[in-house]
Amino acid sequence: MALNATIYKAHLHIADNDRHYYGSHQLTVAKHPSETDERLMLRLLAFALHANADERLALTKGLSDVEEPALWEKDLTGAIDMWIELGLPEERRILKACGKAGQVWIYAYGRTQSMWWKAVESKVAKARNLHVLSVDVQESQALAQLAQRSMELNFNVQDGTVYINSAQGDVAVTLSTLRAQD
């Protein structure tokens, strides 16, 4: 018997001082049975870092559909403006995403991310629309501790650091840039 997704409700309050975006978003997130709390919370972090007033950014089916990224933003014609991946995707997937989307963002996390980046960096060097950011292992694990079935999260972004506050505690996440768009 197949396991069902677990539904999470998240109310995000975003104060992104770097992009001058301030807004709130109510999200219903389906957590795939094989998805960790760490990945779930990184999806919410990525959402907060890319949210905007036109509300085209969307969580996808994620792990339930291997053809889709963790998040994407489509224009009114259905073309993909932004493709957001989490983890350590293979070079082929990265290049496919770069061919389909205007911008591709990867939030790399996990203990082997430095080895992964060394292996794929030269293979994706020609992709002009690729951004790769690294999330520290301890910070992503601390972020996972904030996961609750119903949560209210405050994201304050300032000078490249994201401060997340919830009833469960506070976490600061500083993203390291491995590659910026050319």
Residue 1 confidence (pLDDT) above 70: no
Residue 2: predicted pLDDT: 57
Please state, in angstroms and rounded to a whole number, the distance separating the CA atoms of residues 174 and 95.
26
Provide DSSP, 135-176: E-HHHHHHHHTT--SEEEEEEEEETTEEEEEETTEEEEEEEE
Residue 3: predicted pLDDT: 72
Residue 54: predicted pLDDT: 81
Give pTM, 2 decimals. Answer: 0.94
* Nearest residue to 111 via CA among 68, 89, 143, 140: 140
Structural domain boundaries enclosing 166: 7-179
Please write the tens of the pLDDT for every residue from 136-154: 999 999 999 999 999 999 9
Domain harbouring 166, CATH code: 3.10.640.10
Count of domains for the chain: 1
For residue 105, is it within any domain?
yes
pLDDT category at 181 given cuts 50, 70, 90 is: confident
For residue 57, is it within any domain?
yes
Q: What is the mean pLDDT of residues 28-54?
A: 93
Q: How many CB atoms lie within 10 A of CB 131?
A: 17
For residue 2, is it within any domain?
no
Please state, in angstroms and rounded to a whole number, the distance separating the CA atoms of residues 100 and 80.
7
